[in-house]
Structure 1
């Protein structure tokens, strides 16, 4: 519970979200929607890696480290590690040629954690990965991303609260408002305090209040709302608190750029929550802002075909706005609080 006291209780007002009238909303055609599309910087690195060349990925991650672009770095590390699981040659070459490179170390550590997470022997395998994460953390003393990975690792390894607290303090010293570290912490709390959704909301709300207006950490209460809506236990959370989390995330979404793929994940998550809250015009606005960019998460929580699920939900939202009533059938995510996968899953 000590994590709840790590933030200054500074209140911040929320401005209007500038919702476009529903009648004027035009969405991309189904065939134009892309799933997990890389941005203009990551795309060339993935293409080069597919050809066995690691130089582009190395340059991309080095640039994020030198600029302190930690949110982009975190996202790129995840995507590159995922790619390396099916196409490992470029990363294996990189690691062989530059074994102490902090960027290569970080991608390798992320890949190792992802591999262990999918194994029935997750806890044991994750413990074996610890030296890699430690090496990645030593690569750059200012980089919070290895500490986000360490927080994920601690959740999977069922680490105790004292150890987790030490990791958390190290993470926020490096980047007090890093989104990835906050999401990792919230997931740990949700897993350790199963059903304690109000405590998770307290943590998320305090973090968001303390964060700058343009920080992705403004969306942390949305993660708490998602966790509550996809869980099946614990005391009821007042709807007003769910609404406030969605409103805060919508205000952030209105400040993020359109026409780019990188804000797609918070907007897809916000769409999911708004649909569960049956706020159809607001959900339609997020679909307008996200444009052709669908993300696997959160739609893979309800279906094996996340793109198909996204398109179904999109169709249902448009129908609901047009008719002024709730859509029927598969266009609406599950209305019960249970779900396919737990919020604490990787």
Structure 2
């Protein structure tokens, strides 16, 4: 029987795998962390040593209170400056008190400190940089998101973290980046537990606005639980993980396929669905992701996140193919009629 099952599985894969590739871009068309149309010109200019497009973009997001986009762009520009920072140095030399340059500088400093073996000490040294960015943009939640990431690395107490959290949500109650920073602090990996992580995420998702990425916060809590690798997960945790994935699937469906905005949420949702063996739903997420692969979560398991993404996508397609009957019901009915 085991040989028969293996033969049937192979037959199903051969028959259905090509059809199930429909809607999935070829491997060489998938891009990792593709920039959107607004940040791309700023990155091109930064590569040439020019900071003006980045300055204009961040000033626009600040003036329009586009805090979610602003946070993404600050992180993207700081990531770029980590290896090519001449443009940021020129910007700061020209306008040392520019609130946008100060925010990118603070994000970059925190990123570099996190990579240091002396992380806590380095992070404590750069506290004044975050304070300067917050003072330069009083209504902006982004420096407070940076402060929350900073606090996690300096072993801030729950009370101290809570004070920073109050300042962050006072500026933007549903800011996704601040919620992610708080969730990380509350994770079992840091200063909380899986239960605290889920409780916070589920309440935040329930309070979130329609279409807000905060609605996907529970799937990040589910990922933290799965990443922790605790072998003795109870049925309640499994139930909460599945509910989180279902909520994230519903949020994903509200956005067009191939949309860059929910791309990271979709990549994360696909991973959690794979871990839960929900193969057909995972395949649908890969179709919605289209060419928009993101480093997270795949970089947690491989130094080549794009290759890991493609392997996971191919594996899901094979799983779905192996579960699909050799003949569809429609074809079977047609044969019977003859």
TM-score class, shorter-chain normalisation, is 0.7 to 0.9
Q: Which has the higher helix share?
A: 2
How is 1:24-103 mapped onto 2 (pairs within 5 angstroms)?
25-103=22-100
| Long gaps (5+) in structure 2 | 1-18, 325-338
In structure 2, the CA distance between the partners of 1:188 and 1:38, relative to structure 1 (3 Å rule), is: same
Query: 3-state DSSP class of the match of 1:230?
Result: helix
* Preserved contact between residue 197 and residue 235 of structure 1 (Cα < 8 Å): no
* Preserved contact between residue 213 and residue 262 of structure 2 (Cα < 8 Å): no
In the TM superposition, what is the alpha-carbon distance from 1:24 to its structure 2 partner? 8.2
Query: 3-state DSSP class of the match of 1:120?
Result: coil
* Preserved contact between residue 257 and residue 263 of structure 1 (Cα < 8 Å): no
Could you say which structure has the larger radius of gyration? 2
Question: TM-score, normalization: structure 2?
Answer: 0.87
In structure 2, distance between residues paired with 1:315 and 1:258:
19
* 2:177 aligned partner: 180
In the TM superposition, what is the alpha-carbon distance from 1:138 to its structure 2 partner? 1.1
Report which stretch shifted further, 225-234 or 295-304.
225-234
Question: TM-score, normalization: structure 1?
Answer: 0.85
In structure 2, distance between residues paired with 1:26 and 1:162:
49
In structure 1, distance between residues paired with 2:33 and 2:21:
27
In the TM superposition, what is the alpha-carbon distance from 1:180 to its structure 2 partner? 0.4
Query: 3-state DSSP class of the match of 1:307?
Result: helix
In the TM superposition, what is the alpha-carbon distance from 1:235 to its structure 2 partner? 5.8
In structure 2, distance between residues paired with 1:101 and 1:160:
31
Task: State the Cα RMSD in Å.
Answer: 1.5
In the TM superposition, what is the alpha-carbon distance from 1:23 to its structure 2 partner? 5.1
In structure 2, distance between residues paired with 1:232 and 1:282:
23
In structure 1, distance between residues paired with 2:214 and 2:292:
21
In structure 2, distance between residues paired with 1:309 and 1:166:
39
In structure 1, distance between residues paired with 2:30 and 2:270:
15
* 1:267 aligned partner: 266
The structure 2 residue matched to 1:134, chosen from 125, 131, 134, is 131
In structure 2, distance between residues paired with 1:31 and 1:274:
24
How is 1:215-254 mapped onto 2 (pairs within 5 angstroms)?
215-233=212-230, 236=234, 237-254=236-253
In structure 2, the CA distance between the partners of 1:235 and 1:33, relative to structure 1 (3 Å rule), is: closer
In structure 2, distance between residues paired with 1:28 and 1:290:
10
In structure 2, distance between residues paired with 1:89 and 1:174:
32
| Long gaps (5+) in structure 1 | 1-21, 326-346
